[in-house]
A and B are shown apart, each in its own frame.
Chain A
């Protein structure tokens, strides 16, 4: 089951501290985009936005990316 949006794993992924390995282009674009945005603006407000966006993505597509979700747990 997907971790709750307030779990620290999300911040670690959007900031690039935790690598999320995937063979799927969509996930790689998502993670790279988050890292780039975090690099430009590491403010708390931006981090929250990035977390919400990534959490929403995996909530929507949880069943499509089981290997990626398993790395978040």
Chain B
């Protein structure tokens, strides 16, 4: 079954034609590519990694374009900084879908990751999106950015959202798809929330997490899996410092959640293809994580029927890591 939106990898010229033709677009591309586009009804973010029909791809001159369907009632781009981020969900239309892009390595992303669940309207208004980034070999040399095509603004420290109002007979549904399973390993609990983990309890006993990882020889390419009532919420390991005994994370951990280290996955491409092909309905938007692209060596490999940007973090209501996010616009 086909999606109701048109999501595809396109040339800069094709995207330019769609913009001048009046289409409303949610875009992913390199800074060079997005900078060449005219003003219009679009928002975008920097990324050069993509899932395509031919397989994983790295490109600076292609843009992944998700076209807002004709049946949408209204689309409005809004910039969010620290001062108004808490209004993200309450700004959303009563029935709709909000596309969101936040630049990586920003204070804003940290605030979103830690506080979004406490914002007014969280979960009442679906928000899907991703974290913008740069080529892996340009980290620290170039800054991730977001583009507001309606105003022509480019930001490295603000997010951009496209609030799309839908008619009453359509409803957005978000899916969180992980190839990782927490299994029946040790249960880890954290006392404090945050992007750094030092102390924790493992099976009820106080333990330093860094020491535990080293002692157990845990492969930190695989994430911690938080059990949210059966929904896996992955937290990726950024760094384990044997000197400070601190573990740095790509997303915050929270007290009150059971975490386990993921069971190893041998073949990422096969695992994604299996979960993607289990649902033959093509999503209206999807994104996957750059850590899966790297650790799974997905360049040139197909991952089922799902296409979209490969990103520095995924958003389905809240920030996620090492996760495939799918959004569907369903008839109701």
17 example contacts (A-B, Cβ-Cβ < 8 A) are as follows: A19-B229, A20-B229, A24-B173, A25-B175, A27-B229, A29-B123, A29-B231, A29-B233, A29-B317, A32-B229, A33-B123, A36-B255, A40-B255, A40-B256, A56-B124, A57-B124, A60-B124
- Name the contact of A57 in the complex, choosing from B123, B175, B233, B332 (C-beta under 8 A): B123
Q: In angstroms, how far is the closest chain B Cβ from the Cβ of A26?
A: 6
- What is the interface residue range for chain B against chain A? 20 to 34
A64 interface hit (Cβ, 8 Å): yes
A residues neighboring B (CB under 8 Å): 19-33, 35-36, 39-40, 56-57, 60, 63-64
Contacts of A21 in B (CB 8 A): 230
Q: In angstroms, how far is the closest chain B Cβ from the Cβ of A24?
A: 8
Which residues of B from 39 to 82 have beta carbons under 8 Å from A? none
Contacts of B122 in A (CB 8 A): 33
Does B124 lie within 8 Å of A32, measured CB to CB?
A: no
Closest residue of A by beta carbon distance from B177: A25
Does A33 lie within 8 Å of B124, measured CB to CB?
A: no
B208 interface hit (Cβ, 8 Å): no
Number of A-B contacts (CB under 8 A): 57
Contacts of B257 in A (CB 8 A): 32, 36
Does B228 lie within 8 Å of A29, measured CB to CB?
A: yes
Which residues of B from 171 to 222 have beta carbons under 8 Å from A? 171, 173-176
A8 to B255, CA, bound (A): 26
Contacts of B117 in A (CB 8 A): 29, 33
- Name the contact of A25 in the complex, choosing from B174, B254, B255, B256 (C-beta under 8 A): B174
A35 to B228, CA, bound (A): 10
B316 interface hit (Cβ, 8 Å): yes
